[in-house]
Amino acid sequence: MDEFSVSRERIERYLALTDEALAKVEIPAAAGDDARAQAEDMLGMARAYHSDAQHFLTSGQGDDAFAAVNYAHGWLDAGVRLGLLDGKGDWRLFTTD
């Protein structure tokens, strides 16, 4: 049984926003080895949580999907704020200030 405290449409909107952010974000070319490793780890976590969110949504676990997609985007925001990821100044997709 599908139970959602948050609407399916809202979860799908957040998934789409995070899809867009994942497509845009990059590891800065000048990143040193340590920074690159940290950035790759952050991207890996974001992708894993995003994938989990999609799985939870298709499994009817809406609350878990909503939580997971927010974790995914949180990893991206943290990476951009720390300068480990380049969000290309996109304040709509990332917390830049």
Residue 70 domain-assigned (yes or no): yes
Residue 92 domain-assigned (yes or no): no
pLDDT digits (tens, 9 = 90+) for 8-60: 999 999 999 999 999 999 999 988 999 999 999 999 999 999 999 999 999 99
Residue 42 domain-assigned (yes or no): yes
Residue 53 domain-assigned (yes or no): yes
Residue 90 domain-assigned (yes or no): no
Instruction: Tell me which residue range forms the domain holding 29.
Output: 8-82
DSSP per-residue codes, 5-22: SS-HHHHHHHHHHHHHHH
Residue with tokens 């867009």: 20
pLDDT digits (tens, 9 = 90+) for 60-77: 999 999 999 999 999 999
| Sign of the CA dihedral running 67, 70, 76, 77 | negative
Vertex 65 angle, CA 64 and 69, to 5°: 115
Task: Please tell me the total count of domains within the chain.
Answer: 1
Residue 96 domain-assigned (yes or no): no
Enter the pTM of the model: 0.91
Residue 18 domain-assigned (yes or no): yes
Distance CA 51, CA 83 (A): 24
Residue 88 domain-assigned (yes or no): no
Residue 25: give its domain's CATH number: 1.20.1270.90
